[in-house]
Amino acid sequence: MKSFTHLIEEVQERGLCHHCGGCVAFCTAINYGALELGEDGKPRYRDRDRCIDCGICYAICPEIEELDRETKHLVNWTPPMGPVLGTAMARASNPEVWTRGTDGGVVTALLLYLLERGRIDAAIVSRRAGPFQRQPWLAISRKDLLDAAGFHFDTVPSIAHFSETYSTFSPSIMELQGVAKKTYKRVAFVGTPCQIKALRRMEVLGVVPSDAIKVHLGLFCAGNFQFGPEERRRLETIGNFEWADVLKVNVKEDLMIHLRQGGVRHILLEHLDFMKRYACRFCEDYTAEYADLSFGGLGALEGWTTVIIRTPLGRELFNRARGLALEVSLHQEHSLLYQASIAKVAEWSERKKRTAAENCLELGQVAV
Ligand SMILES: Cc1cc2nc3c(=O)[nH]c(=O)nc-3n(C[C@H](O)[C@H](O)[C@H](O)COP(=O)(O)OP(=O)(O)OC[C@H]3O[C@@H](n4cnc5c(N)ncnc54)[C@H](O)[C@@H]3O)c2cc1C
Ligand code: SF4
Ligand code: SF4
Ligand code: SF4
């Protein structure tokens, strides 16, 4: 039986661990307590003697192929980018939610709708913890959800003096521990494709605390970017701006630096390899292919969110919120825009898979 020692050899030492936290979340929730996340975000042994070699941390790691077939079967995965029952461009009907949202505020509007109608008791989201920094958060109220809306990183004039490395990634799966402790039974999870995949792996095995996750909301993801002091300096040069003038930062088709005096600097993601987490080079999922619903700004008009409906549950929830919490742009009225939008999402998805496959070949292993 393979265990965490093998994850160290096969995933961590090869630079493939993207810190999703799945292994630690399971081992902690079930009270084995052998693992923890280090200060650098990497999983490690907390107490090796507590490891009973159950092998579950190994099996649920998204970088391990063992459960790939079962995970695909679970969500009726089909090529080229997972199940697609429908697509939409939407935004929050409530202006308060819309203005707080990253793109159209759809994720927050949907979560609010589900919470207020008693379909969920809580949601694992990620709230702002400081400039360029977010932390996983178990939201149980309207206020919690609104506080966690958005993804863009507000900055402060003194950002140049920050010395720590900030990251766009938030280890939201770790909040599963909160779910296990507080006995919530119907929880929605918002996260990156790798996190959603780790959760689905747990679901295949039927292990706690993934049984409480009833709705999987995935975010498109081109990569996780680190903003250390050196990276921030290089970005200033590439984008020809100063951090003191920056209002907020967002990732969409490119890195968007919004300036206080108006205007946006666009930096191509291809130019950001120097600040991308190494493991993200081998990741082939752009559109959160294992989610119930996937969301991104790519392909949508400014202030709207592109939505991919993937499972019957996702379709039911989206259709219920439609017209109430969500304003949905009609295919008939914007058919050309829709076609262009979906073509763009498919192109980005394909490009990410191709790059991952090339990088994996170089590394000497086949992409999961
Ligand atoms: C790391 C990351 C990379 C992304 N890359 C792309 C990209 O390349 N292209 C693209 O089109 N879209 C990308 N997105 C998705 C995009 O930024 C929006 O989240 C998405 O369009 C939904 O917008 P919204 O206004 O409907 O959501 P909102 O209503 O603003 O809700 C966003 C939800 O995401 C949660 N959240 C914010 N940050 C994180 C995080 N780091 N980890 C987990 N949850 C988080 C918030 O708590 C909130 O619940 C990325 C998102 C993240 C978090
Ligand atoms: S007890 Fe199981 S889940 Fe925890 S580290 Fe050991 S093998 Fe992994
Ligand atoms: S489960 Fe996630 S955090 Fe753990 S080794 Fe795999 S990729 Fe890394
Ligand atoms: S690129 Fe892949 S591995 Fe990296 S944060 Fe996004 S989903 Fe996770």
The reported pLDDT for the residue numbered 145 is 97
Q: Specify the pLDDT at position 155.
A: 53
Containing structural domain, residue 353: 67-227+277-363
Look at residue 112 and tell me if it is in a domain.
Answer: yes
Q: Is 21 left (phi over 0), alpha (psi -120 to 50) or beta?
A: left
Contacts of 49 (CB under 8 A, 6+ apart): 34
pLDDT at position 210, please?
A: 85
Contact (Cβ atoms closer than 8 angstroms) between residue 89 and residue 329: yes
Which ligand is the nearest neighbour of the Cα of 255? 1
The ligand whose atoms approach the alpha carbon of 98 most closely is 1
How many other C-beta atoms can be found within 10 angstroms of the C-beta atom of residue 118?
8
Q: Considering only CA atoms, which of 143, 113, 147 is closest in space to residue 327? A: 113
Q: Does residue 83 lie within any of the structural domains?
A: yes
| Residue whose CA lies nearest to ligand 3 atom number 5 | 17
Instruction: Kindly tell me the burial class for residue 225, based on how many C-beta atoms sit within 10 Å of its own C-beta (0-12, 13-18, 19 or more).
Output: buried
Q: Is residue 51, in this structure, part of any structural domain at all?
A: no
pLDDT of residue 275: 92
291 lines ligand 4 (CB under 6 A): no
170 within some domain: yes
The number of C-alpha atoms within 13 Å of 106 and in the hemisphere containing its C-beta is 32
123, part of any domain: yes
Give me the amino acid identity at 303: G
Which single residue is written with the structure tokens 């521990």?
177
Q: Would you state the pLDDT for residue 163?
A: 40
* Ligand 1 atom with least separation from CA of 97: 29
Place of tokens 């680190």: 226
Gap between the Cα atoms of 344 and 330, Å rounded: 18
Question: Cα of 186 to ligand 4 centre, how many Å?
Answer: 26
Q: What distance in Å separates the CA atoms of residue 147 and residue 128, rounded to the nearest whole number?
A: 8
Residue 247 dihedral angles phi and psi, to the nearest 5°: -90, -50
Q: Is the CB of 179 under 6 A from ligand 4?
A: no
Establish if 9 belongs to a structural domain. no
| CB of 16 sitting under 6 A from ligand 3 | no
Report how far ligand 2's centroid is from the alpha carbon of 71 (Å): 20
Q: DSSP string of 320-347?
A: HHBTTTEEEE-TTTTHHHHHHHHHHHHH
Give the pLDDT of residue 159. 40
User: Does ligand 3 have an atom closer than 6 angstroms to the CB of 106?
Assistant: no
Residue 107 domain-assigned (yes or no): yes
Q: Compute, in angstroms, the gap from residue 359 CA to the centroid of ligand 4.
A: 14
**What pLDDT score does 349 carry?**
98
Q: What is the pLDDT of residue 131?
A: 63
What's residue 153's pLDDT?
Answer: 60
- The residue among 152, 279, 173 whose CA lies nearest residue 223 is 279
Mean pLDDT by 10 residues, the chain (368 residues): 94 92 91 90 94 96 95 97 96 96 95 97 88 82 94 51 60 81 89 95 90 95 88 91 85 88 91 92 96 95 94 98 94 80 96 94 70
Nearest CA to ligand 1 atom 40: 170
Structure tokens that stand for 357 in this block: 């496959």
**pTM for the model:** 0.94
Who lines ligand 2 at CB under 6 A?
A: 3-4, 26-27, 32, 34-35, 51-57
CB 35 within 8 A of CB 43: yes
**What total of structural domains would you count in the chain?**
1
Q: Is the CB of 169 under 6 A from ligand 4?
A: yes
Closest Cα to atom 7 of ligand 3:
17
Q: Is the dihedral of CA 15, 18, 22, 28 positive or negative?
A: positive
